[in-house]
Amino acid sequence: MRNLRGIVMVGLLMASIVSLAACGSLGSNAADRDTVSVDKVTAHAGRLAGGTVVGGKLDALNSANVVPKSAGKVSSIPVDVGSEVNEGDLLVSLDAADLGALVDLYAAQLDKARNSDLPTQKNQAELALANAESTFKTAEADYQRSKQLRDSAVISAQQFEQSEKTYVQAKASYESAQNSLDILNSATIPETIRQSEAQLKKAQADFANTIIKAPISGVVTARNINPGEMASTAQPVITLVNLDTVVVSVNVNEAQINKVNVGQQIKVKVSSVQDEPFTGVVTNVAFAANSTSKAYPVKIQIPNPQHVLKPGMFAEIFLNTGDEDGIIIPREALATGEEKSFVWVINNGIATRCEVVAGLSDGKNVVIRSGLREGEEIVITNIDSLKEGIKVIAQN
């Protein structure tokens, strides 16, 4: 009977010890050890939108390095770094006095060519042909009559030869007049006009290339030349960036890629600008992995009407991979050991290391699948200063 009572007492004592500590031991002589000030939170049950956080650099959706189409001495640059310009605004003008003179010269030559009246030339050619035909017919009739008179020995051979010569010349003149009229009738624009037009267009294009205008609306981020310097066709003189929309490119793995779709809205956090995330839209999802990184490139566009987002800023993108129910704790409360993850649980002012199995995380909180119960208090600051059984004082 006494042995039975002893066994019961031992069982009650063990149960009391288990109820005082959720996991681990309380440690001995805790009061004799150091004290650490910490912040704490209470683990609670809930649902977390699971996912992963990937990072990338912001870039402008539209940008342009403006390179001259022709080399020349810079005459003026009405913009500087930070200037806002609209598409079509003047950026750089080159010295174009010689080219302007060529434009005037070729324009004058074209006017002269066009003023040569083609209808008048045709009328003159028709009149010349009529005269040549009349002369030819008269000469032909005289030639035939002279031939008969020669055969009858009425005229001398010398007189016949003169008649024949006149006939041959009249025939040649008639054929030449006919050929000239045929050429004019087949001509639509004389060759001189076509040549003048081509020369004028070339001169106008060269002159226009000295006026360098903005290809897009945006902000000038670089000005690489000054008035008086020589601009070349190999180096950009102005760099423009349109900040109305920025884009971030990230790489996701094969487990995540099928959970990202074009048109999907995604939260993008840029800590250097604000704590609240921006809303971006997926615009491009790669169908094949990069051959080097084995990751899938994804592009996300973010509206930026206030131009607070700048190219080169670091952005964090949360990719939702599904929800999970469990015990929710802050991400900073979870520590990682050599083999397992753990948290520090507070029992009666004493820190106890408790191994846990972590689940999904949204970058701010994490789901604990096992090893922790709802309502337990856990440490979230000064974790690196803790050791098993140390006394802690919660500041909050």
The predicted-structure confidence for 255-285, as pLDDT tens digits, reads as follows: 788 888 999 999 999 999 998 999 999 999 9
Structure confidence at residue 189 (pLDDT) = 59
pLDDT at residue 28, as a whole number: 40
Pairing state between β 391-394 and 35-38: parallel
H helices of 87-117, in order, are: 97-114
User: Would you give the distance in Å from CA 66 to the centre of its chain?
Assistant: 14
For the 21-50+323-394 domain, the top CATH level (class) is mainly beta
What radius of gyration, in Å, describes the C-alpha atoms of the chain?
48
Fold of domain 117-189: Helix Hairpins (1.10.287)
16-24: list long-range contacts, CB under 8 Å, 24+ apart.
20/347, 20/348, 21/347, 21/352, 22/345, 22/347, 22/352, 22/354, 22/372, 22/373, 22/376, 23/345, 23/352, 23/354, 23/355, 23/371, 24/345, 24/352, 24/353, 24/354, 24/388
Q: What is the pLDDT of residue 4?
A: 39
pTM of the model as a whole: 0.51
* pLDDT of res. 53: 79
Cα end-to-end distance, the chain, whole Å: 51
* pLDDT reported for residue 63: 92
Answer yes or no: are the C-beta atoms of 265 and 279 closer than 8 Å.
yes
pLDDT, position 194: 82
Q: Confirm if 337 and 386 have CB atoms less than 8 A apart.
A: no
DSSP E strands, 253-313: 265-269, 278-285, 296-303
- In tens, the pLDDT along 222-261 reads 999 999 999 999 999 999 999 999 999 999 888 788 888 9
Classify residue 31 as exposed, middle or buried by CB count within 10 Å of its CB (0-12, 13-18, 19+).
exposed
* pLDDT, position 114: 76
Mean pLDDT by 10 residues, the chain (396 residues): 41 40 44 78 87 86 93 93 94 89 85 72 85 92 89 85 88 85 70 82 92 94 93 93 94 84 92 92 92 90 94 88 86 83 94 90 85 94 91 89
pLDDT of residue 161: 84
- Domain residue spans of the chain: 21-50+323-394, 117-189
342: left (phi over 0), alpha (psi -120 to 50) or beta: beta
Residue 370: what pLDDT? 92
